[in-house]
């Protein structure tokens, strides 16, 4: 339907329908592409070619501007926001008073007193209501397209008609996409959720379908695939990116005043072998997701006392768990046996994402040692893997633990799993990617 119905295009999250069997699903209350190219091809795309994804299309961009904007973000974030050049981005991590991650997300500094944060819970906007500061908060509806994989730069250069080699890791810059007429500038960022070479394009929501279409056409012959929500969390799990509402819940959910301020927010249900009433098992501290290094104690911020105490005496960290294939096969075998089957593994993600409320008990010798989040089947490695927040003394690579797979109160399968490297994807990282190895993508 790559056609003219703006209402239909918005309904599917700014990704055109090319009439070739795309399926859709409601994600966070908005109809999004669930699967375009099949999940196996999509899973391989960011290793062999690249993908274009509109999975984050439609989130609100929150703008903070005014004399106190920097002071405000410093009060909320574990990061040092006073060493932040204009035009650069930061991954801001915001905690509650208990040192639990309330929300997090990418932010960019546009000027001395103007900042933007994208694709995150409105925790900062809520806090702005509580604090008396010289600050204006504005919400914008934007699209975010992700383009990731070894040919992503070539695709973008084809689409832009110029070299983009000067865009460093975490850089933002204006970009024009050939054939797409806009009244405002689009924005290119060298960031992504795969771990290897990746970019994002941002702009006003209404231009999303046209930009998506131009990127997809530029990628023909360069192995481009269309990634949908069905496969989206595989990249996070392989690439080593714990993610709000995908692998854990933001603790903002436990704040009653916040919940009353944003009654229309849609949150994940709590699944997994740990009691659904146990929200703490679904929350994380910065230390528990390998973000403690971002915390700078040269400023006061919400949750500092708890974050600083944990930094002095860390108890858990995050690892990848590789599941025993025989135990995984036994889960499927239960479908052919009488009685209650085990909770079946959906391909390639279980539970189907978003699934930040999923938490499976992890034990060693009968003792609780951690919490595993979403399990994914990596077609690239032909393995089941998951993230696990685990006791530090159990985080040694090669250590075998037990994942209690299933839903609380139902039949549970004890799956043997081995602690492995984090991140799991063993390809060159985006930050260190040698762009000289990438052929130029401009058309002759």
pLDDT in tens, 130-183: 898 999 999 998 999 999 999 999 999 999 999 999 999 989 899 999 888 888
Q: Which of 56-70, 198-212, 276-290 has the lowest mean pLDDT?
A: 56-70
Using 50, 70 and 90 to split pLDDT, how confident is the model at 30?
confident
Query: What DSSP state is assigned to residue 271?
Result: B
- DSSP 3-state helix, strand, coil percentages of the chain (rounded to 5)? 25, 30, 45
4 pLDDT above the threshold of 70? no
Asked if 6-57+141-239 and 266-283+315-420 have one fold, the answer is: no
Taking residue 367's Cβ as centre, other Cβ atoms within 10 Å add up to 8
Q: At CA 428, angle to CA 440 and CA 85, rounded to 5?
A: 80
* Mean pLDDT to the nearest integer, 40-61: 88
Pick from 343, 415, 353, 342: nearest CA to 384: 415
pLDDT at 345 over 80: yes
Domain ranges within the chain, ordered by starting residue: 6-57+141-239, 61-139, 266-283+315-420
Q: What is the mean pLDDT of the chain?
A: 91
Which element (helix H / strand E) includes 174? strand 172-175
pLDDT at 3 over 70: no
Q: Which residues pair with 100 in a beta bridge?
A: none
Helix (H, G, I), strand (E, B) or coil at 92: strand
Taking only the tens place, the pLDDT of each residue in 348-385 is: 998 877 788 999 999 999 999 999 998 999 999 999 99
> 6-57+141-239: which CATH topology?
Gyrase A; domain 2 (3.30.1360)
Q: Are strands 114-118 and 101-111 parallel, antiparallel or unpaired?
A: antiparallel
Instruction: Give the span between the Cα atoms of 177 and 158, in whole angstroms.
Output: 9
Q: Of 94-108, 121-135, 258-272, 357-371, give the lowest mean pLDDT range.
A: 258-272
Ramachandran sector of residue 236 (left: φ over 0; alpha: ψ -120 to 50; beta: rest): alpha
H or E stretch covering 116: strand 114-118
Q: Is the pTM of this model over 0.85?
A: yes
DSSP state letter for 267: -
The per-residue pLDDT for 176 is: 93
Distance separating alpha carbons of residues 330 and 349, to the nearest angstrom: 17
The yes or no reply on domain 266-283+315-420 and CATH 2.40.30.110 is: yes
Span 271-292, mean pLDDT? 97
- 291: three-class secondary structure by DSSP: coil
> What is 61-139's CATH number?
3.30.70.1400
Residue 13, pLDDT score: 63
Decide if pLDDT at 9 tops 80: no
Q: Rounded CA gap, 194 and 237, in Å? A: 9
Q: Give the Cα separation of 386 and 372 in Å (integer).
A: 7
**Torsion angle in degrees (nearest 10) through CA of 30, 33, 35, 36:** 170
C-alpha to C-alpha distance for 299 and 371, rounded to whole angstroms: 31
Quickly count: other Cβ atoms within 10 Å of residue 337's Cβ.
10
CB 173 within 8 A of CB 106: no
Lowest-pLDDT range of 55-69, 182-196, 207-221, 410-424: 55-69
Going from the C-alpha of 3 to that of each of 8, 25, 55, 204, the distances in angstroms are 9, 20, 20, 19
The pLDDT of residue 408 is above 70: yes
């Amino acid at each position: 339907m790559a056609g003219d119905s703006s209402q239909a295009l918005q309904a599917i999250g700014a990704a055109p329908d090319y009439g070739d069997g795309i399926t859709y699903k409601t994600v966070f209350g908005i109809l999004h592409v669930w699967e375009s190219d099949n999940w196996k091809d999509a899973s391989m795309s960011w290793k062999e070619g690249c993908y274009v994804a509109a999975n984050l299309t439609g989130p609100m961009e929150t703008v903070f501007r005014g004399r106190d904007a920097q002071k405000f973000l410093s009060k909320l974030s574990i990061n040092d926001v006073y060493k932040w050049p204009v035009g650069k981005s930061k991954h801001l991590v915001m905690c509650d008073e208990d040192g639990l991650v309330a929300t997090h997300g990418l932010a960019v500094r546009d000027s001395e007193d103007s900042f933007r944060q994208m694709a995150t819970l409105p925790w900062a906007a809520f806090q702005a209501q509580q604090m008396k500061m010289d600050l204006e908060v504005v919400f914008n509806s934007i699209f975010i397209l992700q383009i990731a994989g070894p040919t992503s730069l070539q695709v973008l250069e084809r689409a832009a008609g110029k070299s983009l080699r000067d865009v460093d890791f975490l850089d933002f810059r204006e970009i024009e996409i050939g054939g797409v007429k806009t009244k405002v500038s689009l924005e290119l960022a060298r960031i992504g959720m795969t771990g290897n070479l990746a970019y994002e394009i941002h702009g006003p929501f209404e231009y999303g379908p046209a930009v998506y279409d131009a990127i997809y056409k530029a990628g023909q012959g360069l192995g481009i695939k269309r990634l949908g929500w069905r496969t989206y969390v595989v990249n996070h799990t392989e690439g080593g990116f714990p993610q709000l509402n995908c692998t854990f819940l933001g603790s903002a959910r436990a704040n009653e005043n916040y919940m009353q301020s944003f009654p229309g927010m849609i949150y994940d249900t709590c699944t997994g072998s740990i009691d659904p009433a146990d929200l703490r098992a679904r929350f994380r501290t910065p230390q528990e997701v390998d973000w403690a290094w971002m915390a700078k104690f040269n400023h006061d911020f919400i949750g500092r006392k708890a974050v600083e105490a944990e930094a002095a005496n860390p108890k858990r960290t995050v690892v990848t768990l590789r599941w025993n294939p025989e135990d995984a096969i036994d889960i499927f075998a239960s479908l052919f046996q009488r009685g209650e089957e085990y909770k079946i593994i959906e391909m390639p993600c279980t539970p189907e994402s978003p699934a930040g409320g999923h938490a499976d008990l992890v034990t060693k010798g009968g003792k609780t040692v951690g919490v595993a989040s979403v399990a994914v089947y990596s077609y690239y490695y032909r393995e089941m893997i998951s993230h696990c927040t685990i006791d530090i003394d159990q985080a040694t690579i090669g250590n075998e633990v037990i994942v209690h797979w299933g839903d609380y109160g139902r039949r549970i399968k004890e799956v043997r799993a081995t602690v492995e490297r984090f991140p799991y994807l063993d390809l060159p990282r985006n930050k260190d990617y040698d762009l000289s190895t990438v052929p130029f993508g401009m058309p002759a």
